[in-house]
């Protein structure tokens, strides 16, 4: 049983979820309230990872984050180290891969907020950022929590994308899903079973929490 891999999975999920929540909240706000032209195009683009096979997403990320790719090149120039096959690399990949899972529930929660509350706050003199912090966020906590848990689980379960971008460097990119796959490949069924069993209750309990959060909201 590979404890490092399990721990790495949890760490990756936690880091990616935290960053994603901060990035997605304003984006979801934009999606929910603005009347941007071309919003549908932007949304479809952000949702692409939902529809494409993870290996395809992973392949594009591999190209983008490689030493010749714009992101990889930029990163190497800035930090002096490569992006592929590192923890940072799989964090970035997980974020891009999980954005739709963060965006959809958060957007739905924002759209459920009574627009009259926002009008009321405007008349009371609140600036848009103040409305976001004092009206929108406190009234969509359930949706935000549901979104965070879904992202957490989705990142915990990511396999194809991480294998493409991160490979299997122990302690760096060898997360539980990759370690389980390798254990099966090398016929270590016992070890694979233990790690799978460790993930099962985590996912189950979190899904129950999501169900509860989304139900109590409606």
Partner 1 sequence: MNLQIRIRKHLPHFELSIDVNCPAETMTVVIGPSGAGKTTLMRIIAGLDKPVEGFIQFGDEVWLDTKRRIFLPPQKRRLGYVFQDYPLFPHLSIHDNAAFATGARKDVVQELLERFGIRHLQDRKPDAVSGGERQRCAICQALAREPRLLLLDEPFSALDVFTRRDLRDELRNLKEELRMPVIYVTHDVNEALYLADDLLPIVEGRVDREWMQRSLVRVDDARPERAKAVREPRLSLAY
| Interacting span for partner 1 (CB under 8 A) from 44-52, 113-121, 148-156, 209-217 | 113-121
Q: How many residues bind partner 1 (CB under 8 A)?
A: 15
Q: HEC string of the chain?
A: CCHHHHHHHHHHHHHHHHHHHHHHHHHHHHHHHCCCCCHHHHHHHHCHHHHCCHHHHHHHHHHHHCCCCHHHHHHHHHHCCCCCCCHHHHHHHHHHHHHHHHHHHHHHHHHHCCHHHHHHHHHCCCCHHHHHHHHHCHHHHHHHHHHHHHHHHHHHHCCHHHHHHHCCCCCCCCCHHHHHHHHHHCCCHHHHHHHHHHHHHHHHHHHHHHHHHHHHHC
| Under rule CB under 8 A, residue 133 binds partner 1 | no
| Interacting span for partner 1 (CB under 8 A) from 101-109, 114-122, 164-172, 206-214 | 114-122
In angstroms, what is the minimal distance from the CB of 132 to partner 1? 14
In angstroms, what is the minimal distance from the CB of 128 to partner 1? 9
| Interacting span for partner 1 (CB under 8 A) from 52-60, 119-127, 183-191, 192-200 | 119-127
Binding site for partner 1 (CB under 8 A): 114, 116-117, 119-127, 135, 138-139
């Amino acid at each position: 049983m590979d404890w490092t891999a399990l721990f790495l999975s949890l760490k990756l999920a936690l880091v990616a979820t935290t960053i994603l929540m901060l990035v997605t909240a304003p984006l979801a706000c934009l999606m929910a309230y603005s009347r941007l032209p071309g919003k549908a195009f932007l949304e479809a683009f952000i949702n692409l990872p939902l529809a494409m096979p993870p290996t395809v997403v992973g392949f594009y990320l591999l190209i983008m984050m490689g030493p010749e790719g714009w992101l990889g090149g930029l990163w190497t120039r800035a930090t002096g180290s490569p992006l592929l096959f590192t923890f940072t690399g799989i964090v970035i990949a997980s974020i891009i891969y999980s954005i739709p899972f963060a965006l959809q529930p958060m957007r739905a929660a924002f759209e459920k907020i009574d627009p009259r509350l926002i009008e009321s706050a405007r008349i009371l003199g609140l600036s848009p950022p103040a409305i976001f912090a004092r009206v929108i966020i406190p009234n969509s906590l359930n949706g935000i929590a549901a979104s965070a848990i879904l992202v957490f689980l989705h990142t915990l379960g990511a396999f194809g994308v991480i294998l493409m971008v991160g490979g299997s460097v122990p302690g760096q990119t060898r997360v539980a899903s990759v370690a389980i796959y390798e254990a099966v490949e090398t016929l270590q069924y016992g070890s694979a079973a233990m790690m799978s069993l460790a993930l099962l209750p985590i996912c189950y309990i979190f899904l129950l929490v999501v169900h509860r959060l989304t139900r109590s909201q409606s």
